[in-house]
Structure 1
Amino acid sequence: MSIFSRKNDEAQTTGDTATTSAVDPALAALSGEYVIDPAHTSIGFTVRHAMVTNVRGAFQEHEGTLTLDGEHPENSTAAIDVSMASIDTGAPDRDGHLRSADFFDAEQFPKMTFRSTSAEERGGDSYRISGDLTIKDVTKPLTIDLEFNGSATDPFGNQRVGFEGTAEMLRSDWGLTYNAALETGGVLVGDKLKLTFDISAIKKAPEAA
């Protein structure tokens, strides 16, 4: 059963049948605000290079929060900030170029941000969250498909939840248009990017009254 699923119990009454809905207490208990654990979270991407292979990379510095609503999943939210200077593709020269004004202009625009605007339960452990992704000075909608990986209490007493997800985007929609033509036809860098998310988040303790 997924984190946001609701149980339906059929109650028999005299002469007819009524259906009532009850929330699984174990799932409802997961509702609350969570802080993304950067040490156990990865945000990466894949893009086509020279028309023949893929380059993969990740952002090493990020932070964010999740607010989960076990009774009404459509009210769940996410907010993520990513440091653009933390990009790592395993090639320092390429990373420096990606930080430059040709691409992210990380000095002038140090953060990429995502702020959710809606959430949707899609059955089982599958969810879809939509929101606004801002890169440099351009904000466009982005939809992320997520799978709930479960919850656990770690050895330090932290209650954790895990999600993994993917999204696709065209970098040109966010003004990332740098490219170079190939002698054999085509371009050096593909327009389509696949984003990947593997998120571990820790539930915040209730504030003292």
Structure 2
Amino acid sequence: MTRPALRHLAPLLFCLALPMAVSATDYRVLQDQSTLGFTATFQGAPFQGSFAQWHAAIRFDPAHLAQSKFDVAVDTTSASTGDADRDGALPGADFFNATKYPQARYVATEFVQAGTHVIARGRLTLRGEAHPLDLTVTFTPQPGGTALMDVSGTLKRLDYGVGGGEYADTSVIGNDVTVNAHLVLAPK
């Protein structure tokens, strides 16, 4: 190919490559290596819990946040804290009311850069209540196209009616609940 032909071909190749260069990556979560959990307090002492059943659709690229997305569905019946009394109460009507609301869902609507982290701005729907929830996201690419993603944010449980009635006393069960996830991601 002659030099003038290459000069005319180069802009075309650049234009063809451009759409691929600006698209975020769709990831699948390696569930057996990932966790989705929460931290709360009971009588001032912290306790941790986790969800065994959940699904996350994740598209992410820190260089192209406008194309990124989170859509996470959580089976509220799968909560576990390691305490039999607490675990028995969580699916009940006073807490997750899992019979009526078997699923919680978080959908990010926007991602913004905040120093070394990214903030996912979205809405959490839990017990039929939907409220804004910002999550701090740390994304660490790994060899082979995989990535680690750590996510955390704090919600007010009473905004969602979790632990209402006799459990609404925040001196017994704190109102702040930190949601956290450690995700191992592989490109789809």
TM range (shorter): 0.7 to 0.9
Distance 1:91 1:30, change over 3 A: farther
Whether 1:108 aligns to 2:100 is yes
Whether 1:139 aligns to 2:123 is no
Cα offset, 1:150, TM superposition: 2.2
SS at match of 1:99: coil
2:29 aligns with: 36
The 10-residue stretch of structure 1 (187-196 or 28-37) with the greater mean CA deviation from structure 2: 28-37
Aligned pairs, number: 168
1:95 aligns with: 87
1:171 aligns with: 157
RMSD: 2.3
2:173 aligns with: 189
Deviation per CA, 1:59-107, whole angstroms, max 9, x where unpaired? 1111111112455223211111111111010012211101100100112
Q: Once superposed, which parts of structure 1, at least 4 consecutive aligned residues long, lie more than 4 Å away?
A: none
Which residue identity is paired with 2:109?
Answer: T
Cα offset, 1:29, TM superposition: 8.6
Report if aligned partners of 2:36, 2:182 keep a CA contact under 8 Å in 1: yes
Distance 2:103 2:177 in 1: 18
Distance 1:119 1:66, change over 3 A: same
Query: Scaled by the length of structure 2, what TM-score is found?
Result: 0.81
Report if aligned partners of 2:110, 2:122 keep a CA contact under 8 Å in 1: yes
Matches within 5 A, 1:1-209: 28=21, 31-50=24-43, 52-69=44-61, 71-124=63-116, 126-153=117-144, 159-178=145-164, 180=166, 187-204=171-188
Q: Which has the higher strand share?
A: 1
Cα offset, 1:188, TM superposition: 1.9
Report if aligned partners of 1:30, 1:70 keep a CA contact under 8 Å in 2: no
Query: Scaled by the length of structure 1, what TM-score is found?
Result: 0.73
SS at match of 2:90: helix
SS at match of 1:103: coil
Distance 1:193 1:29, change over 3 A: same
Q: Which has the higher helix share?
A: 2
Deviation per CA, 1:150-198, whole angstroms, max 9, x where unpaired? 2232xxxxx32111121011011112242648xxx96321111111111
Which runs of 5 or more structure 2 residues have no equivalent in the other structure?
A: 1-17
Which runs of 5 or more structure 1 residues have no equivalent in the other structure?
A: 1-24, 154-158, 205-209
